[in-house]
Structure 1
Amino acid sequence: MFRGLWTTFKSMFEKPVTVAYPEQKRPVRERFKGRHVLKRYDNGLEKCIGCALCAAACPSDAIFVEASENTDEQRYSPGERYASTYEINMLRCIYCGFCEDACPTEAIVLGDNYELSFTGRNQAIYDKNMLLEPVPSGGLPTPQVTEPGRFTRSVPEMKDPVD
């Protein structure tokens, strides 16, 4: 009995390990997987090319991607296609990161935002506008008008393997 009282008395003078959550937020770990973010290039074009590899890799079938063709008058991404519809059902997502691993352009990233709350099922479906990061400074919003046959993103030139 005295051993239990001694443990209680000793712990009264230790620093608490809890945090007052709404006022104080603890930083997350480097490998934390939180809310999804669709990335952009520095010029404002979207990185997502609408290939739907993220949807194919998702084990919980939480991602829906529908692709459309880019034109010179309306360019959303530097590729031939872009994701005209991109939705993630956050109630189904298990935050495994397979979508991030499958993306060839590194367009989808699991960020560090963990404050997700919904009052209805419709609010849990994040569409493309909710997922896209803001246009970086110096960039233009999409859709962009480009010269025929040219991308607005600078692509490094491939070297000839013979050289």
Structure 2
Amino acid sequence: MRKFLEAIAGFAVTFGTMFKKPITEEYPDERPRVAPRYHGRHQLNRHPDGLEKCIGCELCAWACPADAIYVEGADNTPEERYSPGERYGRVYQINYLRCIGCGLCIEACPTRALTMINECEMADDNRADLIWGKDKLLAPLQPGMQAPPHDMAPGSTEEDYYLGRIKPLPSSEPVPGAAK
């Protein structure tokens, strides 16, 4: 009789949970809520007029312990200006197969061009699609921004950009000398 009671006691947890309502996540129909300060995927930011903040210095790639970032810098020309400085990141890639999400690249960036945003869905079924280039990493253009290449804001200097003195352009006013 004692062994029978021990067996019934062993099933108490099973019987106790058998009639409870199941806890089911309805993913992907309902997106998961993440903490507001969650650092998910990377984003390359822009200045308020649309020029890229990345200056192609490669400090993020040097800081990455997993060697997940590849940056190839190039010089801006008067005809094609992508950032306010002398250089810009012509090629920028993050290999999410290698990235460990440590954030050291964010700390190394001198212009705050690279940040991590609150997006957690980066999975894919193809390994090649997990190497993200500038086309996926660049922040979308907001109202008042113009897609590079274009000149710096009239009357501004590189210092104005790095001190945050640049304002978005009125949507009806094109940037002088901008490529169309």
TM-score by length of 1: 0.81
Partner of 1:60: 66
Q: Distance in 2 between matches of 1:60 and 1:96?
A: 9
Bigger relative contact order (CA 8 A; separation at least 6) = 1
Sequence identity percentage: 46
Q: Deviation string for 1:60-118 (max 9, x for gaps)?
A: 11111111112333221122211011111111111111111111111112223222233
Helix, strand or coil for the counterpart of 1:67?
strand
- Alignment CA distance shift 1:109-1:93 (3 Å): same
1:104 to 94, 99, 110: 110
Which amino acid letter does the alignment assign opposite residue 98 of structure 2? R
Structure 1 window deviating more from structure 2 (49-58 vs 38-47): it is: 38-47
Task: State the Cα RMSD in Å.
Answer: 2.6
Count of aligned pairs: 157
- Alignment CA distance shift 1:74-1:152 (3 Å): farther
TM-score by length of 2: 0.74
Shift of 1:123: 1.8
Partner of 1:33: 39
Contact 2:41 2:118 in 1 (8 A): yes
Contact 1:72 1:148 in 2 (8 A): no
- Alignment CA distance shift 1:119-1:12 (3 Å): closer
Matched, 1:42 2:48: yes
For structure 2, the 5+ residue unaligned runs are 1-6, 165-180
Partner of 1:24: 30
For structure 1, the 5+ residue unaligned runs are 158-163
- Alignment CA distance shift 1:53-1:19 (3 Å): same
